[in-house]
Amino acid sequence: MKTRNTIEYIVSGKNALFTDPITKTGGEKFSYQVPTYEALKGITESIYWKPTFTWIIDEVRILMPIEFQSKGIRPIHYHDLSNDLSIYTYLSNVAYQVRAHFEWNLSRPELEMDRNENKHWDIAKRMIEKGGRRDIFLGTRECQGYVEPCNYGSGIGYYDGINLDFGIMFHGFTYPDESSTKKDFIVRLDNIRMESGIIRFKRPDQCTIVKPLRKMDMKSFEIGKNIKSVDLMNVGD
């Protein structure tokens, strides 16, 4: 369902690495078949973000065929600064249409004066046109991504009319200012299903497979000190 502060964009790139955590233990990495909620949230935050609000990823449309490419990587060894040899398996030639919206972060009442919905929405749309405020990465820094506006659902997608189950996948992290306790750092998992090329994500508070990882304090923000009021920002900033 489309909300009034929804943004829609297409993100694409030559390679992507949405790492399956299970494959990290041996020092090698293998990408999930599709982007995770957390990865898309990170891309959206790179387009535009302030602690005043939280991005909710509604859905993603897979435009290109799911293809993998393995590469030999020589990461630095932690103990003696020598090089190891690892095999990283990337997604190749990816493109996704993304639909997201933002909601106020009610855990930060001190930022209530920064809740100018139309201004935030206008800046977010302008940042999509500019390609984002920060560099866009598709899961990891070596996978450069590019964003531009789109009409969500337009054009032909490779998986139109095709349904696939991807099973239990990493959904995302819940940080202290997004959790009900305001103290817990939590990991979420969910059963991911694609219907006619589209994955509709559960909201973070609807995920039932969750595990607290550790206690963590909320980062402090203060308007005029370490955050600029949206009312003082230009739409093109």
pLDDT for res 138 = 97
Find all residues with CB under 8 Å of 50, minimum gap 6, and list them.
114, 120, 227, 230
Buried b (16+ CB within 10 A) or exposed e, 168-202: ebbbbbbbbbbbeeeebbbbbbbebebeebbbebe
Q: Is 9 left (phi over 0), alpha (psi -120 to 50) or beta?
A: beta
User: Was domain 7-158 assigned CATH 3.30.420.40?
Assistant: no
Alpha-carbon span 118 to 94, nearest angstrom? 32
Nearest residue to 153 via CA among 111, 193, 98: 98
Q: What phi, psi does 118 have (nearest 5°)?
A: -65, -40
Cβ atoms within 10 Å, residue 60: 25
**Token pair for residue 217?**
């304090």
Question: What's the token pair of residue 24?
Answer: 């990290």
Q: What is the pLDDT of residue 78?
A: 67
Output the DSSP codes for 34-63.
S--HHHHHHHHHHHS--TTEEEEEEEEEE-
CB 31 within 8 A of CB 89: yes
- Distance, CA of 22 to CA of 20 (rounded, Å): 5
| CA distance to 57, 70, 72, 96, 127, per residue, from 66 (Å) | 21, 14, 20, 11, 28
- Residue pair 3/117 in contact (Cβ under 8 Å)? The answer is no
pTM of the model: 0.92
Full pLDDT tens readout for the chain, 237 residues: 567 899 999 999 999 999 988 777 667 889 999 999 999 999 999 999 999 999 999 999 999 999 999 988 777 776 777 777 788 999 999 999 999 999 999 999 999 999 999 999 999 999 999 999 999 999 999 999 999 999 999 999 999 999 999 999 999 999 998 887 788 999 999 999 999 999 999 999 999 999 999 998 888 888 888 888 888 777 666
Which residues, including other chains, have CB under 8 Å from residue 237's CB and lie 6 or more apart?
123
Residue 113 has a CB neighbour count (10 Å cut-off) of 12
